[in-house]
Amino acid sequence: MNNGMDFYAIEPASAGLAAARVKRIMEGVGAVMVSGMEQRPEAKPYEVVGGVAVMAMRGLMVASALPWELELADMSRIESGLKAAGRDPEVSSILISVDSPGGQVTGTISLSDTVAAVNKIKPITAHIGGVGASAGYWVASQAGKVTADRMARIGAIGVVDILYDDSAAALAAGIKPVVIETSPLKSMGMPGVPITDEMVAEASKIVAGYMEAFTASIKAGRGIDPKTVATGQTWFAKDAKALGLIDRIATFDETLTAMIEKNNATAKARTAQARGRMALLD
């Protein structure tokens, strides 16, 4: 979806979330913050449990959330948290709890690349509870393992752009925009401006470019042919597993417990190896 400001990779049924956010921003909600609106609390971006750094990616995904948008998945903050967890000596593995219909393409590419990079340093598991769709799945697909609740919905792989031509409505309301621009595409998406064939072609080119990046990430992260899953639809976990979109059907607690047990087993093995090396010095 294109709001005139950015493109979204989002489950179609949830597109209204993005539109509502854009409307709030354009109406100047930022001024309300001065009067005492709740601020985002400063806190460590993850919790360490048994050597596992647990962090969440829930709600509409945005490149960078405004201070009071506590219900959104702030990708810049998640990315910083992943990098910090990768450097944290107390962290052996990372678990991302995903429940998102997707969101802005801006931020998604950088975050998915960071997931893939950090996964080479410390194993990352993405657990999908509820929904892991579009940009949400894009990020999850770059983890070393992907688990999901039994009734989680996974997929919605694709990119969509909707250009609204409200020029007729504007004229009917007695509004005629006078556009002064340096090129015929500069006013694309602005209120009251007619949508031209040239604008449609340009938007199509951008959608195709984002889709190419999306499918390339899935092929690299999951090792499957993107053509088999890039249908725009979502699947419940059983079918998603058969398609190769996830590795295991499990609850969040089951996934976390398995990761903690693996960390403990690895720690014990390293301790035994260290003792063996010390014994050789006796």
Tell me what the mean pLDDT of segment 3-30 comes to: 57
Highest mean pLDDT among 17-21, 211-215, 272-276: 211-215
Give mean pLDDT, residues 144-150.
98
Q: Which residue has the tokens 């607690």?
A: 253
Burial class (CB in 10 A: 0-12, 13-18, 19+), 257: middle
Phi first, then psi: give them for residue 3, nearest 5 degrees: -100, 10
Distance CA 223, CA 192 (A): 45
Out of 3.90.226.10, 1.10.3720.10, 1.10.150.120, 3.30.2270.10, which CATH number does the structure's domain 8-270 have? Answer: 3.90.226.10
pLDDT value of position 266: 82
72: its two tokens: 């959104």
Domain segments of the chain: what residues?
8-270
pLDDT digits (tens, 9 = 90+) for 158-195: 998 888 899 999 899 999 889 898 998 999 888 999 99
Radius of gyration of the chain (CA): 22
Q: Are 111 and 73 in contact (CB under 8 A)?
A: no
Strand partners, 153: 131, 236
